[in-house]
Amino acid sequence: MQRAARELAARLGASATSAGHRVTLAQSGRLRTGEQSRWMRFTAHQWIALGSPAFSWVARTGPFGALTVRDGFINGKPETGLFLFGVVPLNRSHASDALTKGELMRYLAELPWAPDAILHNSQLRWEDLPNGGLRVTANIGSVDASVIFTLDANGHVATVTAHDRPRQEETGLRERPWHGAFSDYRRVGSRWIPHAAEVGWEVNGRRFCVWHGRLECWKIAVSGEIRR
């Protein structure tokens, strides 16, 4: 494993012998679909796998929490959709290489919330960059995905970027520059976990945020606690 990645994992408090196979977390915040869209409050629960690229994020938003957003990458396949009252499908994305790439990039981008995966996910490939950052790459079949991390003064992940993350637009999925930021690192047990984050896009030279979130709880999940 690449030395800088091991050092990052150590600074974040990752366990050499992880106590579980996934992390679970809860979030709250606001989101929107585009620069001109209105912000909506959300609450969400998520799990992130430590040994393979996999996650599931389920959020409630909209009036009275009537809308459920599902975003996931499970058994090597993307699972995304919008549901009314959690069961009535309003919009579902069909599996494609572009959607797979986007979901795989989300898994990589959220490694600061699953620092043990830096050590225990053997499917990740790490590369030092001249500016002191790190590139992490993973692939599923013929699909390759990468994101770039920059570090703050404490050696924690400060930003994550990609120039080619697929974005849903009227004409379909189109690759766009994408960015995120992590802050408010706090110790949870032996690990340093960011409790605030934001993500956004760049479209036609304009950068804008579409998601602001705060971490409400975080823990390593043992097998009996894991729910899909």
Tens of pLDDT, residues 24-66: 999 999 999 899 999 999 999 999 999 999 999 999 999 888 9
Q: What is the pLDDT confidence band of residue 226, given thresholds at 50, 70 and 90?
A: very low
How confident is residue 223, by pLDDT bands cut at 50, 70 and 90? low
- Residue 225 binned pLDDT confidence (cut-offs 50, 70, 90): very low
Beta carbons within 10 angstroms of residue 161's beta carbon: 17
Of 224, 209, 198, 188, whose CA–CA distance to 15 is shortest? 188
Reply yes or no on whether the pLDDT at 1 is more than 80. no
Mean pLDDT of the 102-127 span: 97
Check whether 227 has a pLDDT greater than 70. Answer: no
Beta bridge partners of 169: 172
Q: What is the DSSP string of 11-37?
A: HTT--SS-S-SEEEEEEEEEE-SSTTS
Q: Is the pLDDT assigned to residue 73 strictly greater than 50? A: yes
Contact predicate 160/180, CB 8 Å: yes
How far is Cα 85 from Cα 65, in angstroms, rounded to an integer?
8
Taking residues 126-150, what's their average pLDDT?
Answer: 96
If you compute the radius of gyration of the chain from its CA atoms, what whole number of angstroms results? 17
CA angle 119, 124, 127 (to 5 degrees): 95
